[in-house]
Amino acid sequence: MKYQAILFDLDGTLTDPKIGITKSVQYALKRFNIIEPDLDKLIPFIGPPLVESFQEFYSLSKTEATAAVEYYREYFTESGMYENAVYPGIKDMLTKLAATGKELIIATSKPTVFSEQIIDHFGMSQFFKAIVGSHLDGSRIHKTEIIAFILSELPHVARERIIMVGDRKHDIIGALNNGIDSIGVSYGYGGLAELQQAGPNYIAASVSELDKLLSR
């Protein structure tokens, strides 16, 4: 492929964080006396900014949602961060891409500090030129502004040679808003219909398909 710089979402793209994220949300909701026994109902929290999801899905006020994010982090930093797994084939793909001189960068709405710990925990730090996420104070949470910041750090790479890879509409919309191409991965948590509606340049149904797309 023509791309020199490849931006990767983290949750649902490189790793499967379902258990850790949904248990962290469950813990936070319990602090508001909201009991949600079904972790599958909390899957929509994977990907978008948490403060917005607490408001959208459980009608918390902005103040309550901000507090919920703090409760979420209590569980997440203790154990939820590591209730996670790298998708099979990801490390092999990253190894090949790095060996060909591609600039690989994490672009996630998860706070940078947690993203760095997760990438390090799974032994993938050596693949990435940078890990760019949100700030703990709740700023820079949208994918559009995260990608915009990354592009400002890549003045030597033309935009047509940069691509974003992610599993949710937010990844694709963020890429479109910044004038770069995108790949939607339907093996993650957005699903095929959400991705098709967002309009990526390519869709990969598996890590193997993603590998072939990025390697060709």
**HSE (side-chain half, CA atoms, 13 Å) at 48:** 15
**HSE (side-chain half, CA atoms, 13 Å) at 214:** 34
Q: What span, in angstroms and rounded, lies between the C-alpha atoms of 141 and 90?
A: 25
Q: Which two tokens stand for residue 6?
A: 């490849």
Q: Which two tokens stand for residue 125?
A: 């730090």
Which residues belong to the active site?
9
Residue 81 DSSP class? G
**CA distances for 128 relative to 101, 150, 160, angstroms:** 11, 13, 20
Tallying the residues shown for the chain, one arrives at 216
Residue 103 DSSP class? E
For residue 16, how far is the Cα from the chain centroid? 10
CA dihedral (164, 113, 127, 17) positive or negative = negative
End-to-end CA distance of the chain: 5
Bridge partners (DSSP) listed for residue 164: 7, 182
